[in-house]
Structure 1
Amino acid sequence: MKHILPLILLILISLPVLAKDWTEYYFQFEIQDKSELEFLTDIISIAKVQGNVVWAFANDEEWQAFQQLNYHPQLLQKPGYGIEQPMRDVGDSFRDWYTYPTYDAYVAQMYAFASNYPNLCQIYDIGTTINGRKILFAKISDNVSLHEAEPEVQYSATIHGDETCGYMTMLHLIDYLLSNYSTNPRIQNLINNLEIWINPLANPDGTYYGGNNSVSGARRYNANGYDLNRSFPDHWGTPSAPTQPETTIFTNFANTHHFVLSANFHGGAEVVNYPWDGTYTPHIDENWFIDLSADYVNTARQVNSGYMTSLYSTGYTNGADWYIIHGGRQDYFTYFHHCREVTIELTNTYITPAAQLENYWNYNYNSLLGYLENALYGLQGTVKDVYGNPLTATITVLGLDTVYSTAITDPACGDYIRMLLPGTYNVQISVNGYEPQTFNNIVITEGQKTTLNAVFGVIPPSQTIQLNAGWNLISFNIQPNNLNIESILSPVMGNVIQIKNIKESFHPGMDSHYNTITTLDITCGYWIKMHSSTSLYLEGTPIDPSTHSINLKTGWNLVPYYPENILSVISALQSITPYLQEVKYFNQVYIPESSNNSLTQMEPGKGYWIRVLQDCNLIYPAAKN
């Protein structure tokens, strides 16, 4: 018994922690005034409002709180219960779009996409639900293993487990993109220029609440009995549901990506719902959102003219105008991540009959492609420093943007996108530590990309000296900030055998007390011996040749060459013409008035031997602008 009890405890600890059982209530009731929804939305999960009729869901605690109010709800049959839907299992054709996959078949199908299209698709398991099911994303891109300077776009579906049309539509979309890449130029353009992330099933515990083999019994909430679309951080109010494990998974995932355009797919109504959900204050880009939503609806209506007409004749609505919610992911992504996300309600049904799934695919697939294409247009570019390193920058449309609507660069690549309606704008790009840059009269044209790149910082003066194997005669025309010889030579130190001038030397292999060169003297030329060819790169303060006099002693001097351009020996040394006897660079020689000079010009980075008749000052010609 002593051995059995610890074994039982170990088994219990190793099992997944299942959520407690809870009751789902689905009901409708009437309100007298729309203002009542602002209070009710924090008590129950409102699913749809039409006129004065409200459809809503509740768990046990929410239902108990609601019953204390002076309403007369009518309980309805829960959407997830009813007709069994045809299911397909692992091994069945996943292109049978008239069936739902079992949970295991869904996971297998996602990984099959990556196996069948390894150059275009990767599957990411971003976390595990309360009941141990996977939250999966398909990443689709032409260089799928790389993170490129391309807009990241996101589709996610079925955050409410009983709203299954989006689930199947996203699976179909993944297959459509991958299978048509090689033949369809429109698909090629999307995949070649975007990083497309698709999560077909955001709430697998809700969808498979009745078991992994059927979507019958699906519930709106997660396994804990909470609406995931009421549990995200909210700027406008307190989320009505506590933070859930799935919410944390999605927010952690969002924090490691840079999504610029997103859509969240629901069911139970037919409408495109744009921000904000949590406040009546219009989004700065409300007109852009209306244009985006209208394009989606109008494209779908080319297939079915009656589609998305049951709530609004336009087919779209501002979220708060429909009904207020707090803790929705649409406002979370749009506010906190400077993304642009809408909620797309695909069908008036919740568990869409399998026989109708293909119809909804046909209504929506062109709209789905067109929605993604918005990330190909607008104002786009990169923000980098002078060395090409990406910078974290804020792109502000002057006179339009507020803190939440600005575009932010992807810190990994420095790329950004600011989607805008056609027009002419003044744009400011800001980076911490630099003066902002303003660009006026930037023209945005519908259906086109306007490129605006910015570079911050000033390239410091630099000098690159080419070094050959063996001995080299060198000099410097900039003054490094740190004159320590070991610091200057550190990039090539492993290659240095010795460096010396007329009187002093430095040998890396010798004890320090034997090395008499400790700092660089820019008034000297140097011999440097290398194991192999390389180059030495330096940054520092430019040396003005005309103000830096070099004192020459009678006889031979090893001198630097300060000008940044090549000059003839006569022009370079005109200041000492009366005293000049000879100039040497290795076996090249210049002698005044000789007709057989092998050294005719002097070059930056090289050191020269100069012999003069008497002490004098060498001043090189001033640099030409």
Structure 2
Amino acid sequence: MRAAAADVVGILILCLASAAAALDFKYHHAKELEEYLRGVHAAYPSLTHLHSIGRSVEGLYNFTLILKNVFSPSPLKGRDLWVLVLGRFPTHHKIGIPEFKYVANMHGDETVGREILLHLIDFLVTSYGRDPVITRLLNNTRIHIMPTMNPDGFEATKMPDCYYTRGRYNRNGEDLNRNFPDAFENNSARIQPETRAVMDWIKKETFVLSANLHGGALVASYTFDNGNPVTGSLEGYSKSPDDDVFIHLARTYSSNHASMYKGTGCDSRQTFPEGITNGYSWYQLEGGMQDYNYVWGQCFEITLELSCCKYPPEDQLGKFWRDNKVALIEYIKQVHLGVKGQVTDKNGNPIPNAIVEAKGRPHICPYRTNEQGEYFLLLLPGTYVINATVPGFKSMLKTVEIRDNTGNFSALKQDFSFPDVSDKITSRVASCPKIPLYQEFTRASAAVKPTVHILVLMTVMLLIFK
């Protein structure tokens, strides 16, 4: 009997795995998307964790929900914002293992990213234990995948269309990629439920690297999307303190994509050398998600424009997956760039909220350790001085030689132990004020203060328009 029962269980597991792997190249609407994610989690429970980080604006307006709302003062619930987490420890953060995320479909009518992330999930779970590279990647990285940030917008877009539709926006008519707090100016847009859910998600997790997937162009765009003279906007380029890292990240994706690296764009009027661009150089954007991730979330994020047509026909989805497959994997590996470690007191207890940054490139919102005293800094190979600071105590400096460890799936490890600090320092303070941060030169990071030629140019302009 026991043997027979075991056989039945084994057959069920194989059936679930087959169902999870049977992913067609077609568009998956809300119900189908949820069913697929639930099927993957059921087939691979030890490798995946499925959860919703919040809900969208619009409810699933069926008869049952309408009746329920008539007899209840509570509003209709929106659609779930599903996230599938993959890794050796999918349910929780593990010290030393970096957190990575992909987010797609924040513009509901930009659909390619939504579908290729489902195929990425399929590829990862079916390759684990078979492909040594994917196995090591999942053993050493916690990967979060959100196929759609704007499920309402997708459902409002009824058929393939290469151009803008009303589905771009959420149910309240808001552009979610103009809806985040902005480091350069006061964003007057009312924070939407989808945006708030992502902000809370970023605050909860220790994300190190991310990308958001869009359509309508073919390019990898990097922060800053907004700017002012402090960051070089007078020259048409808004430069972050980690500009070298961002260029590398964008190039990593572009060079591994089937054609993005050619830089030809979508028509003769628009070209992108090497298939990359600074966001501000392309066009200025207020309230964007990638800038928010970098400034407030301590997470390096780039924007991937993956298709000239926003909502292409289904028969093209297979090619889009093949074009992006290698790039998606190679980009995830970059989460292991640079240096990581823990900051502890004399008793070995973690110190949260310690500032840890590379000397010469401080961030406008200082990068701080999490509750486990961990820090992760993405840095290109080279020699750096890492500065760890605990408020009220003398800073510690350590020189490190960083190599490219992405192939080894582990950044350089460098811990800091403060012998004069006791375990009494456990409180976590706000890492950054919720106001525009680059309004005055005195508030700007030393790493992004204007150069002499910019200051001269600004002086000349002031004299001309005086």
Q: TM-score normalised to the size of structure 2?
A: 0.74
Cα gap change, 1:430/1:377 in structure 2, threshold over 3 Å: closer, same or farther?
same
How much is the aligned-residue C-alpha RMSD, in angstroms?
A: 2.3
Cα contact 2:180–2:191 (8 A) shared by 1: yes
TM-fit CA distance, 1:238: 3.0
SS at match of 1:342: strand
What CA deviation, in whole Å up to 9, does each residue of 1:14-61 have, x standing for no partner? xxxxxxxxxxxxxxxxxxxxxxxxxxxxxxxxxxxxxxxxxxxxxxxx
Give the AA of the match of 2:192.
Answer: Q
SS at match of 2:317: helix
Q: 2:57 aligns with which of 98, 115, 130?
A: 130
Superposed structure 1 runs of 4+ greater than 4 Å apart: 91-94, 214-218, 303-308
**Residue matched to 1:349:** 309
TM-fit CA distance, 1:117: 0.5
**Residue matched to 1:557:** none
SS at match of 1:100: coil
Cα contact 1:240–1:327 (8 A) shared by 2: no
**Residue matched to 1:495:** none
The alignment status of 1:320 with 2:257, answered yes or no, reads no
The alignment status of 1:446 with 2:411, answered yes or no, reads no
Q: 1:389 aligns with which of 349, 360, 366?
A: 349
TM-fit CA distance, 1:295: 1.8
**Residue matched to 1:167:** 114
Q: TM-score normalised to the size of structure 1?
A: 0.55
TM-fit CA distance, 1:146: 3.1
Aligned equivalents of 1:92 and 1:377: distance in 2?
36
TM-fit CA distance, 1:96: 3.7
Contiguous gaps of at least 5 residues in structure 2:
1-17, 59-77, 228-232, 423-466
Range with bigger deviation, 258-267 or 443-452: 443-452
TM-fit CA distance, 1:408: 2.6
Aligned equivalents of 1:183 and 1:320: distance in 2?
42
SS at match of 1:208: helix
Q: 1:219 aligns with which of 144, 164, 167?
A: 167
Cα contact 1:297–1:308 (8 A) shared by 2: no
Aligned equivalents of 1:124 and 1:112: distance in 2?
13
The alignment status of 1:379 with 2:344, answered yes or no, reads no
**Residue matched to 1:253:** 201
The alignment status of 1:419 with 2:378, answered yes or no, reads yes
Give the AA of the match of 1:111.
Answer: R
Contiguous gaps of at least 5 residues in structure 1:
1-90, 461-625
Aligned equivalents of 1:210 and 1:339: distance in 2?
31
The alignment status of 1:456 with 2:418, answered yes or no, reads yes
The alignment status of 1:338 with 2:298, answered yes or no, reads yes
TM-fit CA distance, 1:304: 7.6
Cα gap change, 1:93/1:382 in structure 2, threshold over 3 Å: closer, same or farther?
closer
What CA deviation, in whole Å up to 9, does each residue of 1:350-402 have, x standing for no partner? 11221111111111111111111111221111112233322222212112223
What CA deviation, in whole Å up to 9, does each residue of 1:185-213 have, x standing for no partner? 111121111111110000000000157xx
Aligned equivalents of 1:118 and 1:432: distance in 2?
42
Aligned equivalents of 2:294 and 2:101: distance in 1?
12
**Residue matched to 1:178:** 125
TM-fit CA distance, 1:144: 1.9
Q: 1:148 aligns with which of 94, 99, 124?
A: 94
Aligned equivalents of 1:389 and 1:418: distance in 2?
21
SS at match of 1:146: coil
TM-fit CA distance, 1:183: 0.7
**Residue matched to 1:282:** 239
SS at match of 2:156: coil
SS at match of 1:369: helix
* Structure with the bigger percentage of helix: 2
**Residue matched to 2:69:** none
Aligned equivalents of 1:234 and 1:184: distance in 2?
41
Cα contact 1:265–1:345 (8 A) shared by 2: yes
Larger Rg: 1
**Residue matched to 2:254:** 297
SS at match of 2:298: coil
Q: Between Structure 1 and Structure 2, how many residues are aligned?
A: 364
What CA deviation, in whole Å up to 9, does each residue of 1:377-430 have, x standing for no partner? 2111111223332222221211222334x543222x222211112211111111
Aligned equivalents of 2:160 and 2:20: distance in 1?
18
**Residue matched to 2:363:** 402
SS at match of 2:57: coil
Cα contact 1:161–1:206 (8 A) shared by 2: yes
What CA deviation, in whole Å up to 9, does each residue of 1:218-268 have, x standing for no partner? 710001111011010111123363211111111112111111111000001
**Residue matched to 2:230:** none
Aligned equivalents of 1:93 and 1:399: distance in 2?
48
Alignment of 1:502-541 (within 5 A): none
Q: 1:119 aligns with which of 15, 23, 46?
A: 46
SS at match of 1:124: strand
Cα contact 2:83–2:147 (8 A) shared by 1: yes
What CA deviation, in whole Å up to 9, does each residue of 1:137-164 have, x standing for no partner? 1111102233201111111001000000
TM-fit CA distance, 1:431: 1.9
**Residue matched to 2:15:** none
Cα gap change, 1:395/1:93 in structure 2, threshold over 3 Å: closer, same or farther?
closer
Aligned equivalents of 2:31 and 2:157: distance in 1?
14
SS at match of 1:130: strand
Cα gap change, 1:297/1:308 in structure 2, threshold over 3 Å: closer, same or farther?
farther
**Residue matched to 1:367:** 327
Cα gap change, 1:157/1:341 in structure 2, threshold over 3 Å: closer, same or farther?
same
Cα contact 1:227–1:241 (8 A) shared by 2: no
**Residue matched to 1:269:** 217
What CA deviation, in whole Å up to 9, does each residue of 1:446-489 have, x standing for no partner? 235321111123599xxxxxxxxxxxxxxxxxxxxxxxxxxxxx
By relative contact order (CA 8 Å, sep 6+), the higher-ranking structure is: 2
SS at match of 1:409: coil
Cα contact 1:208–1:218 (8 A) shared by 2: no
TM-fit CA distance, 1:215: 7.1
Alignment of 1:591-610 (within 5 A): none
TM-fit CA distance, 1:305: 6.8
* Structure with the bigger percentage of strand: 1
Cα contact 1:166–1:265 (8 A) shared by 2: yes
Aligned equivalents of 2:93 and 2:85: distance in 1?
11
Cα contact 1:153–1:195 (8 A) shared by 2: yes
